[in-house]
Copies of this chain bind each other. A is one copy, B any other.
Amino acid sequence: MGASSSSLSLSLTLPNHHHSSTLFHPKPTSNFITNHKSLPLNSPPKSSIHAIKHNPMSNPHTIDSELLQKLVLDALVWTSLHGLVVGDRNLERSGSVPGVGMVHAPIALLPNSFPEAQWNQACELAPIFNELVDRVSLDGKFLQDTLSRTKKVDAFTSRLLDIHSRMLQIGKKEDIRLGLHRSDYMLDEKTNLLLQIELNTISCSFSGLSCLVSDLHRSLLSHYKKPLGLDSQKVPINTSASKFADVLAKAWTEYNDLSAVVLVVVQPGERNMYDQHWLTATLKERHNVTSIRKTLAEINAQGKILSDGTLQVDSESIAVIYFRAGYAPIDYPSESEWKARILMEESSAIKCPSISYHLTGTKKVQQELAKPNVLERFLENKEHIAKLRECFAGLWSLDDEDAVKNAIQQPEAHVMKPQREGGGNNIYGEDVKETLLRLQKEGSEEEAAYILMQRIFPAVFPTVLVRDGICYKEHAVSELGIFSAYLRNKETVISNEQCGYLMRTKVSSSNEGGVAAGFAVLDSLYLT
């Protein structure tokens, strides 16, 4: 398991904490841009030839330009008519007022090839990871012990641990436990292994939009069946929005107060608002459950706990708290936001996630679980344990001397990941060696702020991306996220299921003008 941040990591692109950053900034906590540095500019990477081999679409760069233009226009029209949209970051009101300043979400024009075996493997892992999160979250001591060194060097994790301790002290019971997770994977090109990048237990983004991308791709493949020669049925059905909405509704039902609503905790100026609106609109349409949207600051100003434990915000009783904010230090600019977080945690509302689910998603816990015999503390089923372990990449603490030695010798085979959310970028290549040597010399506590991870080399493949109405032929890498939901009331597990997927594809080369450098798009997959 990995970092908790799964939504938009805005703080990295804009250190002044402005919120109008790009939607698809490379996640600081993932392996996502692994071989970016190693690629020569303006030439396709060597591995693209390899990638084409297993791509049944052959090379989409060779699509006839007239056909390409038709495909792009149809895709753009489709996005506009079907709400596959985001707020345009160039327009001021697009993050605060729905319906104004909309632009289509950045997309891959055609789905990305993916082997069926690894797809099935990823789906099968979903309920097992759900169960693991739930079990780990119940072991308060394990969480506190595992994160004790991180606590000293990371103020943010420290504040989360304080809230967690307080809940342990007052013996807070969470009978109804709701997790809406997303486990992110990459396919290592050499070994063809599906390796986990991280498990997100808070604020998983794109469940609202990713299902639309799959629909779009199925529609294009079906309308252009002849010239493309592809089978739309090989794009797996993706019902991420309705599945998440269904489980939110089930949780609301368990809370058992017909007048209560779902509280969506949002960032101010959220340009990915339509992704969230799809969930709440589906919740209303399918289940007649009402939701309200509030920032942490608003919750602090308008929220209170009634004597029976009920959370009330703006005079509405809250059944379920669904976090789409609160996962990164930037979300807590003052004590008001922390007060709001504590208020929610102390209430009887169902938290998605609770503080213990949130902490279970940290990279440090992911690394601890990868140690020998740790999974066995939480799960009995040996087959499940083996399946989980199969997808673990190498993960080490910096107090593991052998691992550090190894990484200094082979820096290109490792990534250093900062534990702190929303902090600096991952460290790659020679920088790994230099940083490790500096930390050894200084002998400081700072090493606790990092974990070491095996560097994953995904296939680089030619692809066609569409952003801001413009079509780009690029070489890219992909990351597969599997959404999953878990809902339990006391001993009864109500839901434990895979809930669709998110494919994100990111440019791995810079184009001549540097225009497209580094941007990422929403994608879907084509089973091979």
- Digitize A94-119: 1 where CB-to-B-CB distance is under 8 Å, 0 elsewhere: 00011111111000000000000000
Looking at the complex, which of A77-85, A340-348, A510-518 is the stretch in contact with chain B? A77-85
A469 contacts which chain B residues (CB < 8 A)? 93, 97-100
Looking at the complex, which of A277-285, A357-365, A404-412, A449-457 is the stretch in contact with chain B? A277-285
**Does B76 lie within 8 Å of A99, measured CB to CB?**
yes
In the complex, whether A63 has a CB less than 8 A from a CB of chain B is no
Min C-beta distance of A163 to chain B, whole Å: 31
Identify the closest chain B residue to A293 (Cβ): B73
**Does A277 lie within 8 Å of B80, measured CB to CB?**
yes
Tallying the copies of this chain within the complex gives: 2
A223 contacts which chain B residues (CB < 8 A)? 284, 288
**Does B281 lie within 8 Å of A81, measured CB to CB?**
yes
In the complex, whether A468 has a CB less than 8 A from a CB of chain B is yes
Identify the closest chain B residue to A97 (Cβ): B469
A97 contacts which chain B residues (CB < 8 A)? 76, 469
**Does A102 lie within 8 Å of B80, measured CB to CB?**
yes
Taken together as a complex, chains A and B put the C-alpha atoms of A328 and B158 apart, in Å, by: 69
A277 contacts which chain B residues (CB < 8 A)? 77, 80-81
Taken together as a complex, chains A and B put the C-alpha atoms of A297 and B83 apart, in Å, by: 32
**Does B101 lie within 8 Å of A103, measured CB to CB?**
yes
A103 contacts which chain B residues (CB < 8 A)? 99-102
Identify the closest chain B residue to A101 (Cβ): B103
In the complex, whether A274 has a CB less than 8 A from a CB of chain B is yes
Partner of A98, one of B77, B93, B101, B285: B77
Taken together as a complex, chains A and B put the C-alpha atoms of A288 and B222 apart, in Å, by: 10
Taken together as a complex, chains A and B put the C-alpha atoms of A274 and B80 apart, in Å, by: 8
**Does A80 lie within 8 Å of B98, measured CB to CB?**
yes
Taken together as a complex, chains A and B put the C-alpha atoms of A97 and B81 apart, in Å, by: 14
- Digitize A361-395: 1 where CB-to-B-CB distance is under 8 Å, 0 elsewhere: 00000000000000000000000000000000000
Min C-beta distance of A73 to chain B, whole Å: 7
Taken together as a complex, chains A and B put the C-alpha atoms of A198 and B12 apart, in Å, by: 59
Taken together as a complex, chains A and B put the C-alpha atoms of A80 and B271 apart, in Å, by: 13
Within 8 A of B (CB), among A267-311: 274, 277-278, 281, 284-285, 288
A83 contacts which chain B residues (CB < 8 A)? 80-83
Identify the closest chain B residue to A84 (Cβ): B99
Partner of A104, one of B78, B99, B285, B468: B99
Taken together as a complex, chains A and B put the C-alpha atoms of A206 and B511 apart, in Å, by: 41
Identify the closest chain B residue to A280 (Cβ): B77
**Does B81 lie within 8 Å of A102, measured CB to CB?**
no
Taken together as a complex, chains A and B put the C-alpha atoms of A284 and B288 apart, in Å, by: 32
Taken together as a complex, chains A and B put the C-alpha atoms of A248 and B277 apart, in Å, by: 34
Are A85 and B76 also in contact (CB < 8 A) when A102-B102, A469-B93, A469-B100 are? no
A85 contacts which chain B residues (CB < 8 A)? 80, 102
Min C-beta distance of A75 to chain B, whole Å: 8
A78 contacts which chain B residues (CB < 8 A)? 281
Identify the closest chain B residue to A288 (Cβ): B223
Taken together as a complex, chains A and B put the C-alpha atoms of A223 and B277 apart, in Å, by: 16
**Does B102 lie within 8 Å of A73, measured CB to CB?**
no
**Does B77 lie within 8 Å of A281, measured CB to CB?**
yes
Within 8 A of B (CB), among A456-507: 468-469
- Digitize A130-168: 1 where CB-to-B-CB distance is under 8 Å, 0 elsewhere: 000000000000000000000000000000000000000
A285 contacts which chain B residues (CB < 8 A)? 219
Taken together as a complex, chains A and B put the C-alpha atoms of A469 and B100 apart, in Å, by: 6
Partner of A80, one of B76, B99, B284, B288: B99
Taken together as a complex, chains A and B put the C-alpha atoms of A99 and B281 apart, in Å, by: 21
Min C-beta distance of A250 to chain B, whole Å: 20
Taken together as a complex, chains A and B put the C-alpha atoms of A185 and B467 apart, in Å, by: 43
**Does A81 lie within 8 Å of B278, measured CB to CB?**
yes
Taken together as a complex, chains A and B put the C-alpha atoms of A211 and B503 apart, in Å, by: 33
Taken together as a complex, chains A and B put the C-alpha atoms of A81 and B99 apart, in Å, by: 9
Taken together as a complex, chains A and B put the C-alpha atoms of A312 and B58 apart, in Å, by: 32
B-binding residues in A (CB < 8 A): 73, 76-83, 85, 88, 93, 97-104, 219, 223, 274, 277-278, 281, 284-285, 288, 468-469
Q: Sorted from nearest, which 4 A-B pairs have the closest CB atoms?
A: A99-B104, A76-B99, A81-B83, A97-B469
19 A-B contacts (beta carbon < 8 Å): A76-B98, A77-B274, A77-B281, A79-B99, A80-B85, A80-B98, A80-B102, A81-B277, A81-B281, A82-B83, A88-B101, A93-B469, A97-B469, A99-B103, A99-B104, A100-B468, A102-B103, A219-B285, A223-B288
Known: A73-B98, A80-B83, A88-B101. 15 other contacts (CB 8 A): A76-B97, A76-B100, A77-B98, A77-B99, A77-B277, A77-B281, A80-B98, A80-B99, A80-B277, A81-B277, A83-B83, A88-B100, A93-B469, A99-B104, A102-B102
